[in-house]
Amino acid sequence: MSEVKQPWTEHAFRYLGLFFICMMTFGSYYIYDIPSALTQDKIDTWYGVKEIKYSLLYAVYNFPNMVIVFFGGFLIDTVFGLKLGSIIFCCLVMTGQILFSISANSKTFWLALLGRTIFGLGGESLSVAQSTFCAAWFNGRNDLNLAFAITLGFSRIGSAVNFQVTPTLDNKFSLPTAVWFGAICCGISFVACIVLCFLDMARSRKDAANNPVIKNDPVSIKDITKFPKMVWLIFALVVFFYVPLFVFVSIGTQFFVNKFGTTSSFAGVLTSIPYYTAAPSPVIGFIIDRVGRNLSWMALSMILLVVAHSILGFTMVNPYVGMILMGFSYAIMAASIWPTIPALIPSSRLGTAYGLAFAFQNAAIALSGLLVNAILEKTNNNYYYTEAIFVGSAAIGLLIVVLLILIDLKEKKLNIPSQDMKDNIKLLNKQSEPLLSEQSSINNNQEITY
């Protein structure tokens, strides 16, 4: 089965939408690591708090998202809809950052925590909305992996820019100025979200006219019990990949200052390398769109992550090496893992599925972040133990990918040529049951020749 050739105007429309899909989360990615970019010591001094309280700036973001981000995805599928939900989540992100900015002016730490909490209520759910938008705009097309990769690369520019701009604004002006600039970025993302919602109305009409789909039953929380086993392994892989990435980044600036004796400004540059290295991820997404075999790419990503943390933690090799490897690992994983969920879950349940993935991710990051900071405090910033945790997590992730590959030898859903995977997605979204059970999924796959 091959995709019908479409006019260039249709492609242009899709990529115009993709630009605003990317911009929608630029602000939230920018502000997430503002505490790390400012450095823990500076935050502690500015607010007059101790090291363990610094970690709360991340914990109050991640802990609520153990649960809330799942319900955010569920609400997208059932109550708000994708467009209204996105606007609400954008408002929460912007409000949270404004409160954090006010706290910087008043040096009120409890207000900083409140702002980061409100930011957390919207930030991860907004990422769920972004993934759902991306799947809706590119589902069944030949550029699904490319679209997800562009989303990663563009959005993560916000994370990288933060590590450059925030310390500069802090040094040249003041800490509150640096934090308020993040609020401006959130305002830009809010405008992008509004524009995207108008574009999505046109997209919905087009897709409804060109691809009528059998109406699904109403979404229920019970639907998650019907999710296939492979998607649960994908959720587990999300946990064991993103913990050694994001938790490390949250302590990265201090890590390089303590272990390699760099300045805090240069440490910020090093910490941002994975985000810059992830910028070429659209190239990787383009390649995956042509060759498929997503699980094989995910295995390569996990191997690179194990090597990266081994170099950073247990050698004195130039830290550029480990950070560049980590960046390539990140680019490959993001371009290959997120497009697999639409291959396993019908589009009407994607918000719920992505919500679950982000919920598990945030729970793991929150708990691991507290554990890592507690270990550093007890061991006087001995990073040997924390790097051992990161290497172990990445190694477990690699084992999960191997298990997925073995299961897929029978299922033939993910580690297959790209066109076969796209045909599976189209077939999945034409079914009338709420979700494909394992058996019906296998039966449907028998209709496609590999």
* Average predicted confidence (pLDDT) for the chain: 84
With CA atoms as reference, report the closest residue to 241 among 274, 288, 208: 274
Going from N- to C-terminal start, the domains of the chain cover 9-202, 226-429
What is the Cα–Cα distance from 403 to 421, expressed in whole angstroms? 19
**Vertex 283: Cα angle to 246 and 83 (nearest 5):** 65
**Residue-level pLDDT at 66:** 74
Which residue stretches of the chain have pLDDT < 50? 1-2, 213-216, 432-450
pLDDT in tens, 191-235: 999 999 999 988 888 766 665 544 445 556 677 778 899 999 999
- Asked if 9-202 and 226-429 have one fold, the answer is yes
Give pLDDT, residue 40.
Answer: 74
Q: At what angle do helices 350-378 and 109-138 cross, to 10 degrees?
A: 140
> What gap in Å lies between CA 328 and CA 301, rounded to an integer?
7
**CA dist 430 to 14, 214, 216, 251, 416, Å?**
22, 6, 9, 46, 20
Answer whether 0.85 is exceeded by the pTM: no
Secondary structure (DSSP) of 120-138 = HHHHHHHHHHHHHHHHHHH
CATH topology (fold) of 9-202 = Growth Hormone; Chain: A; (1.20.1250)
Q: Distance (Å, rounded) from C-alpha 315 to C-alpha 295?
A: 30
pLDDT at 68: 72
Cα(360)–Cα(67) distance, integer angstroms: 9
- For residue 54, the model assigns a pLDDT of 78
The CATH class of the 226-429 domain is mainly alpha
**Which amino acid is it at 97?**
Q
CA 382 remoteness from chain centre: 29
